[in-house]
Amino acid sequence: MIEQLTVLAYLGAAVLFVVALKAMASPTTARKGNLVGAGGMLIAIVITLVALRRGGVASFPPVGAGGWWFIIIAAVIGSAVGAFLALTVRMTAMPQMVAMFNGFGGLASGLVVFAEIWRTPAGEVGAYLAVTVAVSTLIGWVTFTGSLIAFAKLQEFKISGRPIIYPLQTPANFALLALAVALIVLMGYFPGWRWLIVPLALLAAALGVMLTIRIGGADMPVVISLLNSYSGLAACATGFVLTNPGLIIAGALVGASGIILTRLMCHAMNRSLANVLFGGVGAATGGPAADRTVKGYTPVDAVMALGAASQVMIVPGYGMAVSQAQHAVKEIADILAERGVKVAYAIHPVAGRMPGHMNVLLAEADVPYDQLYDLEKSNSEFERTDVALVLGANDVINPAARETGSALSGMPILDVDKAATVIICKRSLSAGFAGVDNELFYADRTMMVFGDGKETMTAIVAALKGG
């Protein structure tokens, strides 16, 4: 009876997870979705603790008093760290935090299955346990080290955001993967050789590093969603190790949703996943030619153009995230709206460094959801737009994507060059992460306003109020 109720509780938690995923597909219901998902996870955790106490669905034997103290201490520490991060991490650092959360998920899976196979006597380790532990180890450690590299690239912490390419890199990566698979097969044939889990974990850790270092910053939205999928698959495999249906279901949902999101991100860039993983886009440090210069405009010049506009499209990019200019941007939009100007935000699906990065930042600034236009709706408006105000975006507005032979070829972009006037706020003429110079910078209808994004937007606000 207890076991049946436990399974039903896991099923109820799974239903809440599905409802949460559905709710988080829309900005208007995303917060409710988070709460529903958290409720489902609370149910799953409580029922797992009950199973641990009774030695039920989970494969562990009943936990003694000493074991419960470890669980309580770990829960308190984990909750404190999570609360601290939630309250202190800036929205601009959200991609880094998501990358680390993915890594922690992979690390947890790798450590749990290591403990499970090591606590089981060698003579009692069967092929099923050995293979499921090996699969979870491979995915978990790839996720952990890959996420560390993604974090370092996003944070620009002693590692370049551009791809790191060297000769025979792809064959070497496939060799590492083949060797890891061979170890999994070997563990299936000789399940008592549980020590093989150690070299497998080391190989997986190396593979995670080698796969991620060759991916550039422009592809970080895809990488983060893919690593999120990996963390879910690792958890799912761990669920099979522990015969825990809650973990299997939750991991499968995360893995599937991550794969779907990865596919959507690739579609948004008109590239295959293989090209993202092995293409090395952005390895070339492209930039403006030595003999090419542009006239720099001031915030006051930008205000003159904005003052004569009846429709303005704001195009946020990574520069807005880095400078934390979203609140100043919102203030500009409010001032213009009060003067009767139609204002909207053009959101490219891969702008920033994680899926939905711009949406999250603008939501923090209380920008109305109905002012956020997707790629298709934005492009239908640019020809009627008087001023396109671009803040830090580069690759997602680069007309080179319409040409053949470019690293951006075929990528759907925001057609800001169809607006009557384009104001681009950037620190310099440097190319984006794809390493492709942007011809839009030199167009006659473009006004380049150089400087920090937040400082420039604040100066525009002051000039608008003064005018």
Do 306 and 387 touch, CB atoms closer than 8 A?
yes
Q: How far is CA 288 from CA 94, 162, 442, in A?
A: 31, 17, 10
Spatial neighbors of 291 by CB under 8 A, at least 6 apart, are: none
Calculate the CA 234 to chain-centre distance: 18
437 is catalytic: no
Q: Which helix (H) or strand (E) holds 151?
A: helix 127-155
DSSP string, 287-342: ---TT---PBP-HHHHHHHHHT-SEEEEEE-HHHHHHT-HHHHHHHHHHHHHTT-E
Spatial neighbors of 155 by CB under 8 A, at least 6 apart, are: 93, 96
Closest to 445 measured CA to CA, from 273, 294, 279 = 294
Closest to 429 measured CA to CA, from 418, 420, 442 = 442
Active-site hit among 219, 395, 417, 437: 395
Active site residues: 395
